[in-house]
Amino acid sequence: MLTKEQLPSELITERTTVHRALPDDLPKIATWPEYSARLAALSMNRQETPRPDGRLWWERIDAPDRCHYSVVLRESGEIIGVHAFVRIDWASATVANMGIRIRADVCDQGYGSETLAPLLKGALDSGIQSIRLDVAATNQRAVRCYDKCGMAIVDEFWREHKGEPIDPADPKWAPLLPHLRREGDKWMVRFYWMEIDSG
C-alpha cells in the first residue's frame, strides 16, 4: 500500500520551492491579505483561530489522510501558496479533494500552475492513481489554472451560495449568471469536479 512518505517531499520550480508544510509556516500564512469579497471564505487569515472542535491548524492538517505543502518564493523566502491533498485513500491510492491557495497579491502571475502541475505529476508518478477537487464554476481563474495543469471536468453539482450577496442586475455578476440559479430565496452555484489520473 502507498504511504505518505512516498509522496513528493520537495519540488523545485522556476521561481519557487514547494515543501511539506511545517508547524512554523502558520504565522506566515496567517498574515496573508484577504481575498476579494467573492472569495473571502477562502482567506487563510482565520487559520490561527481554533475550529469549533478546539483543534488548531497543525492538529487539523497533520492527519493521516492529508498531505499539505507550502510554496516558498526562492528569491525572498516568503510563503506565497499552499497546496493540500485531502481525503487521501491510501488503499486505492486516490485523492478525493484538494485545497489550493496562492496569496492574493500574487494571484494571476502563474504561480498556481507553475507549482500545481509538477506537484500533481509528482504525486501520480509516486503511485497515486487519481486526484480530484471541487471548484465553483464561477471561480473561472481557478478552473483555468486546473485546466492548464491537466485536470478535466468530470462531473458537476450545485451548492448553496454563501458570502457576497448576488445582485443579478449588477453587471459584475453577468458573466457568472450561467453558473447561478435561484431556488426559492436561495441562490445555488454550480460546482465542478475536476480530475487528473495516472492513465
Ligand X SMILES: CC(C)(COP(=O)(O)OP(=O)(O)OC[C@H]1O[C@@H](n2cnc3c(N)ncnc32)[C@H](O)[C@@H]1OP(=O)(O)O)[C@@H](O)C(=O)NCCC(=O)NCCS
Nearer residue to ligand X within complex by CB, 121 or 127: 121
Residue 45: CB atoms within 10 A of its CB come to 13
Q: How far is the CB of 194 from ligand X (least distance, A)?
A: 9
Nearer residue to ligand X within complex by CB, 2 or 135: 135
Q: How far is the CB of 143 from ligand X (least distance, A)?
A: 7
Nearer residue to ligand X within complex by CB, 2 or 32: 32
Residue 131, class by beta-carbon neighbours within 10 Å (0-12 exposed, 13-18 middle, 19+ buried)? buried
Instruction: Name the CA radius of gyration of the chain, rounded.
Output: 17
Q: Which three cell numbers stand for residue 39?
A: 472569495
Q: How far is the CB of 79 from ligand X (least distance, A)?
A: 13
Nearer residue to ligand X within complex by CB, 2 or 116: 116
Q: By CB under 6 A, name the binding residues for ligand X.
A: 35, 39, 42, 100-102, 107-113, 135, 139-142, 144-145
Q: How far is the CB of 131 from ligand X (least distance, A)?
A: 13
Residue 11, class by beta-carbon neighbours within 10 Å (0-12 exposed, 13-18 middle, 19+ buried)? middle
Task: Note whether 129 and 1 are within 8 A (CB).
Answer: no
